[in-house]
Amino acid sequence: MSGPRHDGAVLPGGVLGILGGGQLGAMFAQAARRMGYRVEAISDVADCPAARHCDRLHVGDYADTTFLTAAAANLDVVTFEFENVPSAAGAALAAVVPVRPHPDVLHTTQDRAREKAFLERHGFACAPHRVVRSREDLEAAVVALGLPAVLKTAAFGYDGKGQRRIDTPADVAAAWEALASGAGDRTFVLEGWIDFACEASVVAARGLDGAVAAFPTFRNVHRHHILDVSSVPAGLPDRVADAATAITARLLGALDLVGTACVEFFVTKGGEVLVNEIAPRTHNSGHLTIEACETSQFEQQVRAVCGLPLGGTRAIGPAAMANLLGDCWGLDAADRHPAAPIEPDWAAALAVPGVRLHLYGKTHPRAGRKMGHLTALAATVDEAVNRVTEARRRACRGPA
Ligand code: AMP
Would you say the CB of residue 214 lies under 6 angstroms from ligand 1?
A: no
Instruction: Tell me the average pLDDT across 307-325.
Output: 98
Peptide bond into 101 cis (omega under 30): yes
CA distances from 95 to 72, 78, 257 (A): 10, 11, 18
Which residue's CA lies nearest to atom 11 of ligand 1? 225
Least confident residue range of 43-47, 219-223, 363-367: 363-367
Mean pLDDT, the chain, as a whole number?
Answer: 94
In CATH terms, the superfamily for domain 196-395 is ATP-grasp fold, B domain (3.30.470.20)
Note the pLDDT tens digit of each residue in 248-267. Answer: 999 999 999 999 999 999 99
Contact indicator for 234, 219 with CB cutoff of 8 Å: yes
Distance of CA 127 from the midpoint of ligand 1 (Å): 10
> For residue 278, how far is its CA from the centre of ligand 1 (angstroms)?
12
Query: What's the fold here for domain 128-192?
Result: Dna Ligase; domain 1 (3.30.1490)
Specify the pLDDT at position 340.
79
| Spatial separation of the C-alpha atoms in residues 86 and 70, rounded to whole Å | 17
- CATH 3.30.1490.20 residue ranges of the chain are 128-192
pLDDT tens profile 158-214: 666 789 999 999 999 999 999 888 656 689 999 999 999 999 999 999 999 999 999
Q: Is the CB of 83 under 6 A from ligand 1?
A: no
**Ligand 1 pocket residue status of 150, Cβ below 6 Å:** yes
What DSSP state is assigned to residue 51?
G
* Protein residue closest via CA to atom 14 of ligand 1: 225
DSSP 96-135: TS-BSS-HHHHHHHTBHHHHHHHHHHTT--B--EEEE-SH
What's the gap in Å between 374 CA and the centre of ligand 1?
A: 23
- Asked if residue 165 has its Cβ within 6 Å of ligand 1, the reply is no
226 close to 293: Cβ distance less than 8 angstroms: no
Max intra-chain CA distance, the chain: 62
- Which band of pLDDT confidence, cut at 50, 70 and 90, is reported for residue 12? very high
The SS3 assignment for 332 reads coil
Bridging pattern class, strands 149-153 and 218-223? unpaired
Cα separation, 88 vs 73, whole angstroms:
17
Q: Is 194 in the pocket of ligand 1 (CB under 6 A)?
A: yes
Over 60: is that where the pLDDT of 371 sits? Answer: yes
For the stretch 42-86, pLDDT in tens is: 999 999 999 999 999 999 999 999 999 999 999 999 999 998 888
Mean pLDDT check: name the lowest of 5-14, 319-328, 355-364, 371-380.
5-14
Nearest CA to ligand 1 atom 19: 193
> Which ligand 1 atom is at minimum distance from the Cα of 192?
19
> Does residue 156 have a pLDDT over 80?
no
Which atom of ligand 1 lies at the shortest distance from residue 193's CA? 20
Tell me which amino acid residue 133 is.
R
Which has the closest alpha carbon to 312: 386, 211, 175, 166? 211
191 C-beta closer than 6 A to ligand 1: yes
Measured between alpha carbons, how far is 306 from 109 in angstroms, rounded to an integer?
22
Q: Is the CB of residue 39 less than 8 Å from the CB of residue 18? A: yes
Decide: 36 and 55 in contact? Cβ < 8 Å.
no
Based on its alpha-carbon atoms, the radius of gyration of the chain, rounded to whole angstroms, reads 21
Q: Kindly give the distance from the C-alpha atom of residue 74 to the centroid of ligand 1, in angstroms, as a whole number.
A: 40
Distance 37 CA to ligand 1 centre (A): 37
Best probe residue, ligand 1, of 147, 219, 222 (max atoms within 8 Å of C-beta):
222
Contact 40, 75 (CB under 8 A): yes
The whole-number pLDDT of residue 341 equals 86
Measured in Å, residue 73 CA sits from the centre of ligand 1 at 39
The pLDDT, as a whole number, for residue 246 is 98
pLDDT of 400 higher than 70: no
Question: Is 318 within 8 Å of 384 (Cβ atoms)?
Answer: yes
- Which ligand 1 atom is the nearest neighbour of the CA of 195? 21
Q: Where is pLDDT greater, at 331 or 135?
A: 135
Whether ligand 1 lies within 6 angstroms of the CB of 127 is answered as: yes
Distance CA 180, CA 170 (A): 17
**Rounded to an integer, what distance in angstroms lies between the CA atom of residue 336 and that of residue 339?**
9
- Hey, what CATH class is 5-99 in? alpha beta
Residue limits of CATH 3.40.50.20 in the chain: 5-99
Q: What is the pLDDT of residue 160?
A: 65
Residue 128 has a pLDDT of 98
